[in-house]
């Protein structure tokens, strides 16, 4: 008596409208690999199978919606759930004042509570360095993510995780921006668990078109300090 061969994995993307998937969906290498891309509102009616691997790019600012999404996937009996999280969650270990890292950290913890889930952590997504803030960044290229989706491996967190990011530097626009970034970073680190006190400065930096403020700056600094 022979045993049936396991069904080939069907790759699904949850987060059809996400910026990451809109950029990835044009990658030729993924065109014939992803069986379906669905949205958050398709969860209730979509017919999952035991052969599915679901790449979760969907995100809600409401933690309850993220929890419900993960509970639905957990109950669907899929083969594997890949929760795609952000390197910025490191910020939530220091402060809870930034919403995005805090909510993403909660979601990744809830995902890892599911036995079939794995955690993929990415940095600032880009194709060109010109898309990144000036300075030192924790970043991931879209091509890297596409290649990983074609051939995933999980060397971190006891075989359940992967940190798919690296340090990438973009030159500052000039000496003034470089000096301003240095002063801001010093203030941010000195603020400890209360970096949101700098939000009025963040607004000014945003108006100037300088994007290295807030939790992006703090995340980059914490990771580079950790890996240097």
pLDDT for res 14: 97
Low pLDDT (below 70) residues in the chain: 1-5, 227-228
pLDDT for res 27: 87
Q: Which residue ranges make up each domain of the chain?
A: 10-170, 175-227
Contact 124, 137 (CB under 8 A): yes
C-alpha–C-alpha distance, residues 4 and 73, integer Å = 25
68-96 burial, b at 16+ Cβ within 10 Å, e below that, comes to: ebbeebbebebbbbbbbbbbbbbbbebbe
Average pLDDT over the chain, rounded to an integer:
94
pLDDT tens figures, 2-27? 555 678 899 999 999 999 999 999 98
pLDDT for res 5: 62
- In three-state secondary structure terms, 80 is strand
pLDDT for res 228: 57
Place of tokens 């910025």: 88
1.10.287.540, 3.90.226.10, 3.40.50.720, 2.40.40.20: which CATH number matches 10-170? 3.40.50.720
pLDDT for res 122: 98
pLDDT for res 4: 56
- pTM (predicted TM-score): 0.93
Token reading at 210? 């300088």
pLDDT for res 7: 82
Helix H, strand E, coil C: the string for 133-197 is CCEEEEEEEHHHHHHHHHCCCCCECCCCEEEECEEEEECCCCHHHHHHHHHHHHHHHHCCCCHHH
Q: List, in sequence order, every residue forming a beta bridge with 83; answer none if it has no partner.
A: 56, 119
pLDDT for res 222: 96
Q: How many other C-beta atoms are found inside a 10 Å radius of the C-beta of residue 161?
A: 18
């Amino acid at each position: 008596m022979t045993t049936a061969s396991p069904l080939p994995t069907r790759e699904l993307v949850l987060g059809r409208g996400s910026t990451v998937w809109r950029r990835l969906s044009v990658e030729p290498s993924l065109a014939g690999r992803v069986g379906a891309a669905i949205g958050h509102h398709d969860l209730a009616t979509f017919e999952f199978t035991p052969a599915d691997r679901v790449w979760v790019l969907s995100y809600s600012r409401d933690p309850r919606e993220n929890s419900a999404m993960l509970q639905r996937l957990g109950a669907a009996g899929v083969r594997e759930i890949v929760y795609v999280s952000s390197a910025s969650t490191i910020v939530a270990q220091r402060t809870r004042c930034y919403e995005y890292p805090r909510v993403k950290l909660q979601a990744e913890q809830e995902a890892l509570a599911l036995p079939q889930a794995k955690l993929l952590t990415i940095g600032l997504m880009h194709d060109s360095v010109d898309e990144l803030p000036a300075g030192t960044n924790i970043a991931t290229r879209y091509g890297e993510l596409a290649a990983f989706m074609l051939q995933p491996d999980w060397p971190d967190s006891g075989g359940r995780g992967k940190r798919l990011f690296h340090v990438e530097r973009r030159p500052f626009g000039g000496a003034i921006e470089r000096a301003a970034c240095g002063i801001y970073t010093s203030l941010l680190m000195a603020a400890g668990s209360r970096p949101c006190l700098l939000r009025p400065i963040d607004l000014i930096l945003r108006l100037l078109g300088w994007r290295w403020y807030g939790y992006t700056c703090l995340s980059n600094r914490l990771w580079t300090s950790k890996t240097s």
